[in-house]
Copies of this chain bind each other. A is one copy, B any other.
Amino acid sequence: MALAVQKFGGSSVADADRIRAVADRIARTRRAGDDVVVVVSAMGKTTDDLLRLADDVSSVQPGREIDMLLTSGERISMALVCMALADIGIDAASYTGSQAGIVTDTSHTNAKILEIRPGRLLSALAEGVVPVVAGFQGVSTDNDVTTLGRGGSDTTAVALAAALNADRCEIYTDVPGVFSSDPRVVPNARRLHSVSFEEMMEIAATGGKVLALRSVEFARNHHVPLYVCSSFTWEPGTWVIEEDPLMEQPIVSAVTCVVSEAKVTIIGVPDRPGVAASLFRTLADELVNVDMIVQNTSTEGITDISFTVPQNELAVSRAAAERLAPVIGATSVLVDENIAEVSIIGAGMKTHPGVTAQMFEALYGANINIEMISTSPIRVSCVVRQEQADEAVRVLHAAFELDRA
């Protein structure tokens, strides 16, 4: 008998029909002989609706109260899932983050899990009861209600799977797994049967929205096999697992794309030690998430520095750069929002030189100019014009033959 953690996202519990379908899935797993711990998100767009309500009421929104507000959402969905299970004869009980023993730090709206005390969940399992746990929430060391931030329910599921030593963590969502590229852009994109944790982290970091980066990282660190699957079609999904060193890895598994970044370039920077440090320290102090950084080769002691940031952090980044430019003796600051970052990802890249060259050739063949480049051992990313992004993705998907099984 195996233990599965099954996590159902907001679209999977959006209405009464979907909740009954979720209960049915849980029942099947139980009938197959496995134990189940369920994790649910708030129904559909509940979280957005609550945040809108908060905006209507007040411009001052303390994090502690936002957390109190938002955690109402999972209470509703988990109680309803328990009732739907009761309706088909399965004993279930709901547990808040606090009751499930999910202890976090005190960072409201973006708390980190410190510890899991799964005593009540283990008791429930021992009694044959299916625990249904509120995703996204915990209780702080100060006994206040906290939330885990973006992708928090996935993190709850993976952390519980690790704490309970579960055999797998199944993430049910509105897409049927991880694809070789976005099917809306590349019609012949294929569902991947499995990807390694490392590949999945790169996919999540470069535009693949199926899983939050943080939960994949947690799963990798705690060796929790993930399974991503659609709760609408229930067709076979994608496994996210440890890389098998004995198996040959695909050279390139997926092509991803991010269009939500912007590029900032500081022109005419004197090329002396400490200049880059002071720039990126300033940005770090503003909590800007800098992605790619490129510094041109210096010509006569003067260089340009470009970096990309999320568009919603552009204003603060630009202000910081413009504040710093005169201090470091730079000429001017340029901003470009019309960019896209296209990436190829593959675990086999590590052992196959020439992949980068093949990528550049494919883009060149389609007359797509590359503006910035960054690489990791299993990823190559290029910044291109945003209007050429879809074409770049399709060209790369074809060049690496990702439509073939």
- Residue A370 is within 8 A (CB to CB) of chain B in the complex: no
Interface bits A52-96 vs B (CB < 8 Å: 1, else 0): 011011111110111011011101101110111011000001101
Do A53 and B80 touch across chains, with their CB atoms under 8 A apart? yes
Q: Which residue of B lies closest to A60 (CB)?
A: B86
A72 x B73 contact (CB < 8 A)? yes
Q: In the bound complex, do residue A84 and residue B58 qualify as a contact, i.e. CB atoms below 8 Å apart?
A: yes
Q: Is A332 on the interface with B (CB-CB < 8 A)? A: no
A303 within 8 A of B: no
Contacts of A94 in B (CB 8 A): 64-65, 68
- Nearest B residue to A16 by beta-carbon distance? B56
What is the predominant secondary structure among interface residues of chain A facing chain B?
A: helix
Which chain B residue has the least Cβ–Cβ distance from A78?
Answer: B68
Cα-based distance from A293 to B400 in the complex (angstroms): 88
A282 within 8 A of B: no
Chain copies in the assembly? 2
Is the CB–CB distance between B64 and A80 below 8 Å? Answer: no
Q: Which A residues from 19 to 66 make CB contacts under 8 A with B?
A: 19-20, 50, 53-54, 56-62, 64-66
A143 within 8 A of B: yes
In the bound complex, residues from chain B placing their C-beta under 8 Å from that of A145 are 96
Report whether A60 and B75 are in contact in the complex, using a CB–CB cutoff of 8 Å: no
A219-248 vs B, Cβ < 8 Å mask (1 yes, 0 no): 000000000000000000000000000000
Alpha-carbon gap, A99 to B94, bound state (A): 19
In the complex, the answer to whether A65 meets B53 with C-beta atoms within 8 Å is no
- Which of B60, B65, B75, B83 sits near A58, CB closer than 8 Å? B83
Which residues in A have some Cβ–Cβ distance to B below 8 Å?
16, 19-20, 50, 53-54, 56-62, 64-66, 68-69, 71-73, 75-76, 78-80, 82-84, 86-87, 93-94, 96, 99, 120, 143-145
